[in-house]
A and B are shown apart, each in its own frame.
Chain A
Amino acid sequence: MARRKFSDQLTSMIKIRNLVFEYPTARALDGVNLDVAPGAITALVGPNGAGKTTLLRLMAALETPYAGCITIGGLDTRLEPRAVHQRLGYLPDFFGLYDGLSVRRCLIFAARAHGLSSGQVNKAVMDAAQNVGLAGRLDQSAGTLSRGLRQRLAIAQALVHRPRLLLLDEPAAGLDPQARREHSRLLLSLRDGGMTLVVSSHILAELEDYSDQMVIIDHGRVAGGSTFKGTQLRIALAAPDDRLKDFLAGQSGIEVFQADASGARVIWQGGVEGRAALLQALVRAGFAVSDFGEDRHALEELYFARIDRETEH
């Protein structure tokens, strides 16, 4: 059988169909279907024990599905696990480093272990170290790094071979606010460089900064999701108006994910001028707009709305 090549010329970098995974005591994932677009950052969110880590490990071909299938760049994780391994980077939630090695040797090993030739290794090591801000610490022992720097080194190891797909499980856990901001910048720069990222995290506010798509996992199933290609806007009315939902639905470039007579949360696809036009349109239509601006907590609101709905069901 001819081996198919890994491809990023696909509509979905990750395609998951009817995925089932079991632990001896429980079914962890039950009929998961999911598509992850290339060149995007997808946030996996959900309560503890929902199945996020299991799903990431299955995507990384570290576990074998009980039923269903996952393709990564066109490669089936069950049939070609090693080909998948070589082409992605993965940072588990609890990771370790070779504390006895220097940062440089950790990265050299990671590069060589991912099949980079001797000629490519030095450049790859420098690029990865610079990407995560460790270029000045190459000769420091990994065992002496702070938690934040260890996190950076682990990410550098995962991306030293420039994978097309990076899977990160709780990558910002334990980082201070400054480190989190740098971490968000790093993820955005990787995405802008063409990388596809899947990030599992509990820190919804942080995911909001960089994610393009959110997938909610709950009780081993996809409980909901949304895309965030655009700005999240909050609209509040001084006087309730039942027309608001229909009015917004009729506007182009808007995805409404929550609306009632007194206000709405929407994702606005247009630019700043379009936003101004939208505000004008609302006022012109007679809505008593009391608040109109970027919503920093839209993801959190959406997450809790979906989880609450699941719980009610």
Chain B
Amino acid sequence: MNPEFQRNLWLELAPARILLMAGFVFCVLAIFSAAPPALPGPGFAATALYYFLVVLWGTRNAALSVIVEIRERTWDFQKLNAIHPFAMMWGKLFGSTSFVWFGGILCLPFIIYPVLQSRGPSMAAAELAVLILQGVLAQSVSLLTSLNLIRRHHNNWRLDAFLCQVTGIIAAFAFGFRGLLSASPQNQAATFSWWDMALDPQSFQSVSLAIFTAWALGGCLRAMRLELRLSNGPFVWLAFLAFLALYEAGFESWLARAIPGADFARHAGVFRLAAAGISLASSAYGMAFLEPKDPVQFRWLILQIRSGRIARALLALDCWMLSFSATILCTLALAFAFWRDPQSIGGVSASALILPLLAALGFFTRDIGFFVLFRTWSRERGDFAAAGVLVVLYIVLPRIAGPAQSLLLPQLTAPLIAFSAAWAEAAALWAWTIVRIERRTG
């Protein structure tokens, strides 16, 4: 047996704990079974309990599986063993959550049996798969987040665990609650469009859930490899970005609907690029927040580039750097598409959108710079400070800036001012950042 999994089982599944969990689950279900018909039955209670155990509690256990090792100073010992990163990853993921999975599995028959009776074995099997995948996705995203957070050497383990839990829970429910399969058919759209294909929403959501769970597990493996001092290279993250861009680009019709009067058929490519760009930018913001942005790593990269070892530097780029670069490329492609086909989109000439788009790119470049710059000041709070500055810049200041909004946001009415302001701010911020990074060399 995987030693890490076994160690977790020793700690998590002591006989007394097993009995306690079994007793707790059956007591809750017994109470709801005896409840009057007007109140929710055991099926509802089992579902709620399953989510409480597997998602809410499970995400915490998954996050703490690494965070506690750091806190208790056992992580160095773990890193110095012979366990393969994959075995270490799944040993932690499923070992640390074995107790809550035990409780969750006890709930499953009470959830699945009604579906089996009302909708047949295939739907019951699909329902079971979705429930398990939601649990695995939530826990693996939580573990992935914790593996990224510990690289920042952040000392507030409670806050880290909370952040991991939140990301895990969001991931679990990003594809809907359990109702996504068993909701009454009349309440659901018959089909929806993705890459011009009419798809069954339930099947699409289930497949999406499975694919994103696989990516999350792959992400955990990569993060674990980094912890065990193995390098990853950029290719898997680039493949994920390509997948994410293509996946989100398929929702172009959703984006087109948000722009009144847009000729979707004519500008489908533009909307796809825009949807892809938004997803890439989101990944850049997310990873810029999560990853360590170590000034030493920057110095090392600069040293490699100055020494002409470009390939070595490219292979060592962090995920946020790749997302940042991919966003820039996607935005430039979008600007090129506007330039090639200057027909109006929703009543605005496409060519008039180029400057605001490039202004948005400038603001994006500046924003990422905030995360790097603030990290040079504080390893502990730099990322939160940068996120706070962005909230002020995008939410608070525009409400009081009046006509000066162009200095903060891409504007259709004053595109040149916004463009100039964005890139001036970005250039100044990055110059300051690089000076700080290089100056700190002892």
Which residue numbers of A lie inside 8 Å of B, CB to CB? 22-27, 60-62, 64, 66-67, 81-82, 85-86, 88-90, 92, 94-101, 105, 109-110, 112-115, 157-158
Given contacts A81-B229, A109-B6, contact A98 B81 (CB under 8 A): no
Q: Is the CB of B229 within 8 A of A62?
A: yes
Q: How far is the CB of B57 from chain A (nearest CB, A)?
A: 18
Q: Is the CB of B74 within 8 A of A97?
A: yes
CA of A90 to CA of B80, assembled, Å: 8
Since A85-B228, A100-B10 are in contact, a sample of 8 more A-B pairs with Cβ atoms closer than 8 Å, ordered by chain A residue number, is A22-B442, A62-B76, A64-B229, A81-B230, A85-B80, A90-B80, A92-B76, A95-B76
CA of A110 to CA of B72, assembled, Å: 16
Q: Is the CB of A24 within 8 A of B74?
A: no
Q: Is the CB of B82 within 8 A of A113?
A: yes
* Chain B residues, Cβ within 8 Å of A90: 76-77, 80
Subset of 27 A-B contacts with CB under 8 Å: A22-B299, A22-B442, A23-B296, A25-B440, A26-B442, A64-B229, A66-B299, A81-B229, A81-B230, A82-B82, A82-B230, A86-B81, A86-B82, A89-B80, A92-B73, A97-B74, A98-B11, A100-B10, A100-B11, A101-B11, A105-B10, A109-B6, A110-B77, A110-B81, A113-B78, A115-B81, A157-B77
Cβ-defined partner of B80 (8 Å) among A62, A64, A98, A109: A62
Q: How far is the CB of A56 from chain B (nearest CB, A)?
A: 11
Q: How far is the CB of A152 from chain B (nearest CB, A)?
A: 15
* Chain B residues, Cβ within 8 Å of A110: 77, 81
Chain A's closest residue to B87 (CB) is A113
Q: Is the CB of B81 within 8 A of A25?
A: no
Interface centre among B72, B77, B294 (most CB of A within 10 A): B77
Chain A's closest residue to B225 (CB) is A82
* Chain B residues, Cβ within 8 Å of A157: 77
CA of A22 to CA of B299, assembled, Å: 10
Cβ-defined partner of B296 (8 Å) among A66, A85, A86: A66
Q: Considering the complex of A and B, which 6 residue pairs feature the smallest CB-CB distances, nearest first?
A: A96-B73, A115-B82, A113-B81, A26-B442, A81-B229, A112-B3
Q: How far is the CB of B20 from chain A (nearest CB, A)?
A: 16
Q: Is the CB of A25 within 8 A of B442?
A: yes
CA of A62 to CA of B82, assembled, Å: 14
Q: Is B267 an interface residue (CB 8 A)?
A: no
Interface 0/1 of B2-23, CB less than 8 Å to A: 0110110011000000000000
Chain A's closest residue to B3 (CB) is A112
Kindly identify, within residues 338 to 387 of chain B, every residue whose CB is under 8 Å from any CB belonging to chain A.
Answer: 376, 379
Cβ-defined partner of B74 (8 Å) among A82, A86, A96: A96
Q: Is B300 an interface residue (CB 8 A)?
A: yes
Chain B's closest residue to A85 (CB) is B80
Q: Is the CB of B83 within 8 A of A113?
A: yes
* Chain B residues, Cβ within 8 Å of A100: 10-11
* Chain A residues, Cβ within 8 Å of B81: 85-86, 110, 113-115
Q: Is the CB of B73 within 8 A of A60?
A: no
CA of A185 to CA of B99, assembled, Å: 43
Q: Is B441 an interface residue (CB 8 A)?
A: yes
Q: Is the CB of A24 within 8 A of B296?
A: yes
Q: How far is the CB of A127 from chain B (nearest CB, A)?
A: 18
* Chain A residues, Cβ within 8 Å of B7: 98, 101, 105, 109
Q: How far is the CB of A169 from chain B (nearest CB, A)?
A: 10
Chain B's closest residue to A91 (CB) is B77
Q: Is B295 an interface residue (CB 8 A)?
A: yes
Q: Is the CB of A60 within 8 A of B10?
A: no
* Chain A residues, Cβ within 8 Å of B294: 24
CA of A157 to CA of B80, assembled, Å: 11
Q: Is the CB of B300 within 8 A of A66?
A: yes
* Chain A residues, Cβ within 8 Å of B10: 100-101, 105
Given contacts A101-B10, A112-B3, contact A22 B441 (CB under 8 A): yes
CA of A62 to CA of B441, assembled, Å: 22
* Chain A residues, Cβ within 8 Å of B76: 60, 62, 90, 92, 95
Q: Is B154 an interface residue (CB 8 A)?
A: no
Cβ-defined partner of B228 (8 Å) among A67, A82, A95: A82
CA of A81 to CA of B379, assembled, Å: 26
Q: Is B79 an interface residue (CB 8 A)?
A: yes
Q: How far is the CB of A109 from chain B (nearest CB, A)?
A: 5
Interface 0/1 of B63-100, CB less than 8 Å to A: 00000000011101111111100000000000000000
Q: Is the CB of B82 within 8 A of A24?
A: no
Cβ-defined partner of A98 (8 Å) among B74, B228, B442: B74
Q: How far is the CB of A144 from chain B (nearest CB, A)?
A: 16
Given contacts A90-B80, A96-B73, A105-B10, contact A24 B300 (CB under 8 A): no
* Chain A residues, Cβ within 8 Å of B78: 113
Q: Is the CB of A24 within 8 A of B11?
A: no
Interface centre among B6, B7, B11, B299 (most CB of A within 10 A): B7
Q: Is the CB of A61 within 8 A of B442?
A: no
CA of A25 to CA of B229, assembled, Å: 22
* Chain A residues, Cβ within 8 Å of B440: 24-25
CA of A7 to CA of B76, assembled, Å: 24
Q: Is the CB of B79 within 8 A of A113?
A: no
Given contacts A86-B82, A94-B73, contact A22 B228 (CB under 8 A): no
Q: How far is the CB of B15 from chain A (nearest CB, A)?
A: 14
Q: How far is the CB of A32 from chain B (nearest CB, A)?
A: 15
Chain B's closest residue to A77 (CB) is B229
CA of A125 to CA of B79, assembled, Å: 20
Interface 0/1 of B138-164, CB less than 8 Å to A: 000000000000000000000000000
Q: How far is the CB of A266 from chain B (nearest CB, A)?
A: 38
Cβ-defined partner of A95 (8 Å) among B73, B79, B295: B73
Q: How far is the CB of B343 from chain A (nearest CB, A)?
A: 50
